[in-house]
Chain A
């Protein structure tokens, strides 16, 4: 177990370095300098700007300067917002994005597992068809449509919930969290239904029934451990997806999180901000994937044998 952990971490580190380096050099390929969109400035000012942001140094020097900064969590200054550093913006935006992703994940897991397990137990009844139809809806109605529709209904027509913001009005966290979580609730419902159906047909469940265990403890103690494995391995990609979804949700609801910073940076061509957040997001996603793979190993003895 420890071996696997060490090996996975040893793979993750070079991957991260490659990602960071590729991003760094890709950004340099981008047409135009970071200050092009501003007013025309004199060559002297341009030179000073370049010097201030260390852009006049040879490329390899810039690269090593940048990388040694990244190791200690310094992503350099923002090109677009003078006087603010990229790290500072990451640290202000991150807690909000994490909070949003956390609520969304809770909604997704609770709703998804409950309806998926129920659907598997009541196979081919209304309690199977109805939640699965809703789940199909959740997969086919994208976040960027779901959000505005919820705003239109609950925010504008019924006027029961705020239409935007985060932590400013009571209840303003509800719509963004539901918007972001719904699609994942749908995926989790489908995965847990499939996994449970497979497990419920196996011999050890029949044995448990024959022993006279209550249906409740058969489901919770025996079937769910194996039946929910697909959900556990989905957690890594789901968290990656939630971060991507936060771009849209934070834009729709005007939430000052990392996702919106990223989209704004992409629009403004704030290269250092894009570079910093890309490296940061990659590190987080690699980390969460690692975590969900390890969780699967812990839960599934058979997967451990194959290593």
Chain B
């Protein structure tokens, strides 16, 4: 069986999985909305209309306005940019660190492997939420630092998964043949190892995105993440909670948006896993 037919099989299985497809389409729509937010959004995210204050959903403001008269729909659209950006960028950071770490540890084995994985074990046992809060306190609430900090936390599982995959591949004939031919380590990783572990990496990356978004929203909710006037969905939920007694819509709509997005990402990730690796689909 050649490589492309594996991927074709996977795509076929993915398309048949209705929950995963709905999830995937939802994410695509959200990404498009986020990218074109400045053109789609009816108002600017910082435009205040103090005359109306907090108003319930109406024809002018489809999802209502907050205490300062800012249009909630617009703020949600702009918030999508930040929340999704955090999700993708931080996952990217985690991906780069985790994959390189896992490949090196798995491929070289022996002492290198045991030292590298012992480091992962130790880091696993640490309270990272506390460290991210610590970093935010020390270095100020900077959005790029937030990306890096979250990414630096989420790479551990990726490293473990990649290492296990690489160990499985290492003893196969094609890798040994390449070794005999004198292929350099770097092109071994790039040409022979990486293409064969793309499946599990794609699956885990998709499932990391919602975790990262949760972490960002968690920090923003505590007031330690994205700072006003910028707003992520976590910040919006925070404001929603503060005024939920009188202005329920300020909590309901951001909450709903966030939950739907997490649902979509999780369903798509689960579907991708089932499609690429039918064996583990009973989980």
- A residues apposed to B, CB below 8 Å: 11-12, 15, 19, 23, 26-27, 29-31, 136, 139-145, 148-149, 151-152, 156, 190, 193-194, 197-198, 236, 240, 243-244, 247-248, 251-252, 262-263, 266-267, 269, 274, 277-278, 281-282, 285-286, 289
Known: A141-B259, A198-B282, A244-B130. A274 touches B137 (CB 8 A): yes
Give every chain B residue within 8 A of A282 (Cβ-Cβ): 126-127, 130
- B residues apposed to A, CB below 8 Å: 122, 124-127, 129-131, 133-140, 210, 214, 217-218, 221-224, 234, 237-238, 240-241, 244-245, 248, 251, 255, 258-259, 262-263, 266, 282-283
Give every chain B residue within 8 A of A198 (Cβ-Cβ): 282
Query: Bound complex: CA of A38 vs CA of B190, how far in Å?
Result: 56
**Residue contact B127 to A149, C-beta cutoff 8 Å:** no
Q: What are 21 pairs between A and B in contact, CB < 8 Å?
A: A26-B134, A30-B137, A31-B138, A140-B210, A140-B262, A144-B237, A145-B255, A145-B258, A148-B251, A151-B244, A152-B244, A152-B248, A152-B251, A198-B282, A244-B129, A248-B221, A248-B222, A263-B224, A266-B133, A269-B137, A278-B134
11 new A-B contacts at CB < 8 Å, known A23-B134, A278-B131: A12-B125, A30-B137, A30-B138, A141-B255, A149-B251, A243-B127, A244-B218, A262-B133, A274-B137, A278-B134, A282-B126
**Residue contact B221 to A144, C-beta cutoff 8 Å:** yes
Closest to B129 in A: A244
Query: Bound complex: CA of A149 vs CA of B244, how far in Å?
Result: 9
Give every chain A residue within 8 A of B240 (Cβ-Cβ): 148
**Residue contact B255 to A149, C-beta cutoff 8 Å:** yes
Query: Of residues B127, B244, B283, which shows the largest number of chain A Cβ atoms within 10 Å of its Cβ?
Result: B127
* A273–chain B nearest beta-carbon distance, Å: 11
**Residue contact B127 to A251, C-beta cutoff 8 Å:** no
Closest to B240 in A: A148
* B118–chain A nearest beta-carbon distance, Å: 8
Query: Bound complex: CA of A281 vs CA of B221, how far in Å?
Result: 21
Known: A142-B217, A152-B244, A194-B283. A244 touches B127 (CB 8 A): yes
